[in-house]
Each structure stands twice: as C-alpha cells, then as structure tokens.
Structure 1
C-alpha cells in the first residue's frame, strides 16, 4: 500500500461508507432512542436519540480519517510516512466503523442486546490484535505507539518495547476476542477489559525497566 495515493485514501473511507449505507438501510427499524452505554455486566445504562448518535458516528468517522490522514504531515520526526502506517490506519478505520455499525445493529435487536455485546467486545479485541500486528514496525514519533518518557528518550527502548508490546497486543487481543464469545454475559466486560489493560500495561512497565537497564549498561 503506497504511502500517498488516491486509491489508498479511497480505501480508507470504504469501511465508513459501508457503515453509513448499512445504518441508512435499517434507519426505519431503529427506535427513536438507542442504547449508548453499557455497565460492566453488559446491561444498558445510557440512552441517546438515534439522530444524535448517527451524527456523532459520522463526525467521528470524518475526524478519525482527517486525523490519521494528516498526522504524517505534522509529525516533527517525519517517521509516519510508511506503508505499514497506512495498513495500521486501515485496520483502525475498519474496526472502528464496524463498532459504530454494531451499535445500530444492537439497537434493532434490543431483545438480545446482552448476547450481542460479546461479539461487539470481540471486535474491540480484534482491533487491538490488528494494531499490535503493525505497531512493531512504527518508528519513534510523537503521535502513534507506546509513548512513554522512556521510549521517547531512546530509539532502542522504543524498538524493544514495541516488539514486546506488539506481541502482547496480538496475544491479548485474540484471547480477549475468544473469551468475549464464551464467557457468560455478566462477566464478559470485566474479563475483556482486564485482558486489554494487562496487555497495554505490561509494555509500559517494560519500557521503564529496559530503559533503566540500558542506562546501567552505559555507566558500567
């Protein structure tokens, strides 16, 4: 995938266009007020007008597209001009569009919303795995990646942290996606969130430990 091309930019918008077409096709079936928030047991505890959610979804899609489209241009290090960054963009746009569409799907199938929350969380988990698959190749920059004081202070710490973090994100994302389907509804959110937080926290701790080790070797 080229770093800049009309074809690439069209490809980035396709997931959101499909989501818009889908929401338009089920619009008459949607209730006037839709679930917009769930508690840790998967029970709906927040509602919003469907028009408001539709505009929010559209606005989020436009914002994310523009954000990831122009980040490489404003990155002071100029490290985001790569084919792998474009793949990372597409993975994020694809899964976020699917998540937005799933909210409207859940609204149409309110009687089975708890059963369908698992697949929605599985999408979030698969997005984490997809990001982890490409994040290992992201070079040091100010916007994308595991940006801690220690990774930003050393390119070697950045590289080692992202190699480890990418593996944890892939493994954690795939495990969370599986458990999101098989774990009973009252525990699904807690289990998935716990795995995602663990997979995200371990690389942060590792970046500090490896930074300290690197400094110790320099002074030894």
Structure 2
C-alpha cells in the first residue's frame, strides 16, 4: 500500500494537539494559583471558577477528545484513498472538528492570559466565524459519525443526508455571516442570544428536513 504523507490539515491537527497538551501541563504545574474563571453569563461576567488542577484536567480531557476526533477522521481518510468522495467528506469533517475544538480551547484559555474577560461581542463574533466555517463545508460532507446532521433517517437515506446537510450548511453560513456583521453593533446579551436561538431553529429545521426527505425517498432503507 502506498504511504500517504500528512497534508496541511494533518499538520495543523498535530500542532493543535501538542499545543493543548502543553497548555494543560503548564496550567497544572505553573498556572495561576488563584481560581480561574471557567464560565461566563450572558452579560459576559464570570460566574464560575475552578482551581488550576481542575482547569488542567478540563483542557487535557478536551484535548483527548479532539485528538480522537480529528485523528480518527484523518486515519479513515487515509484508508479511503480509492474513494475520493468519502475521503473528501472525512477531510471536511476533520477541518470542521479542528476549528470547533480550537475555538473551545481558545475560550477556555483566554482568562489565563488576560485579566479582562472576552466581551459578549467577541463571543458572538467567534461563534459566527465558526458557523461560517461549518456552513461552508457542511453541504459537502458525506455520511460520517463526526459532523453533520446525523439523524437515524439520514443514515437510512443518502438523499436525506445530502438535502438536510445542504440545508443546514446554508442556514449556518447565513447565520454566521449575519452574526459577524452584527457582532460589533448588536446590543448584548440580546445579539448573542438571538444567534444561539437561530442555531437552535436551524438545527430543528434540518432535523425535520432529514425526516421529511427520508419519508418521501423511494430508495430509503427500512429500520
């Protein structure tokens, strides 16, 4: 079998995993000795704190999940060299997962290096960027267990998977674009709350679409 060299996405995944592991070790051994903010309310004010040991375990645990997710997508993409469509889907899933985990780690790590908590507008802008990235690739992701509208009906109908994920991608991209434009001017926490409500509505709509298309698909698989 021909050995496949790591691509830029694989290298970025390795960098993220090493960075997360290093951050977890630093926090646990030499991080702040005072309680670290780990949760912020809708007004952007810290309302939950934890000692550095707990924060280190949180970061390390998230790193393990990230390594398993992006590493699994990369591994299966390497094994799908003879199936370009499946490989493209897995690489898209790897990219989306990488961006999602990087955003989560960034939000957790921010209070470690700044005395000023991130504003709600910054949270909204970061969420909007993530939605843009997810929306740009979601419509092209084939069936997988990592990202996408993963309903029971979608796994029984290729048409349902394609249409519901295409719809979800368009909705997420539109929400991300609107959120990014509105982030600097929207009153908070109303703006961020509206963005989250929009995501919930888009998710529910996409789930309903997967059921609707599966039900009308003559080639669907029975349960």
- One of 196, 200, 205 as aligned partner of 1:202: 205
* 1:152 match: secondary structure: helix
Deviates more, 1:157-166 or 1:177-186: 177-186
Aligned to 1:133: 136
TM-score normalised by length of structure 2: 0.74
* 1:185 match: secondary structure: coil
* 2:36 match: secondary structure: strand
Instruction: Return closer, same or farther for 1:29/1:72 CA change in 2, 3 Å cut-off.
Output: closer
TM-score normalised by length of structure 1: 0.75
Gaps of 5+ in 1: 216-220
Instruction: Return closer, same or farther for 1:86/1:97 CA change in 2, 3 Å cut-off.
Output: same
Deviates more, 1:10-19 or 1:43-52: 10-19
Instruction: Return closer, same or farther for 1:17/1:136 CA change in 2, 3 Å cut-off.
Output: same
Pair 1:83 & 2:88 matched: yes
1:117-170 CA-to-partner distances (Å, cap 9, x unmatched) read 321332223222212211212222344321223222211111111111111111
Are 2:163 and 2:209, in contact at CA under 8 Å, matched by a contact in 1?
Answer: no
Instruction: Return closer, same or farther for 1:51/1:64 CA change in 2, 3 Å cut-off.
Output: same
Pair 1:96 & 2:101 matched: yes
1:155-196 CA-to-partner distances (Å, cap 9, x unmatched) read 111111111111111111222333343222332431221122
Gaps of 5+ in 2: 219-223
1:39-74 CA-to-partner distances (Å, cap 9, x unmatched) read 233332211123321332133123212233225768
Are 1:35 and 1:48, in contact at CA under 8 Å, matched by a contact in 2?
Answer: yes
Larger relative contact order (CA 8 Å, sep ≥ 6)? 1
Aligned to 1:39: 41
Q: CA deviation at 1:14?
A: 1.9
C-alpha distance in structure 2 between counterparts of 1:172 and 1:84, whole Å: 23
Instruction: Return closer, same or farther for 1:118/1:49 CA change in 2, 3 Å cut-off.
Output: farther
Aligned to 2:221: none
1:13-52 CA-to-partner distances (Å, cap 9, x unmatched) read 2235456778969x97856211111223333221112332
Aligned to 1:5: 5
Instruction: Return closer, same or farther for 1:159/1:98 CA change in 2, 3 Å cut-off.
Output: closer
Pair 1:193 & 2:196 matched: yes
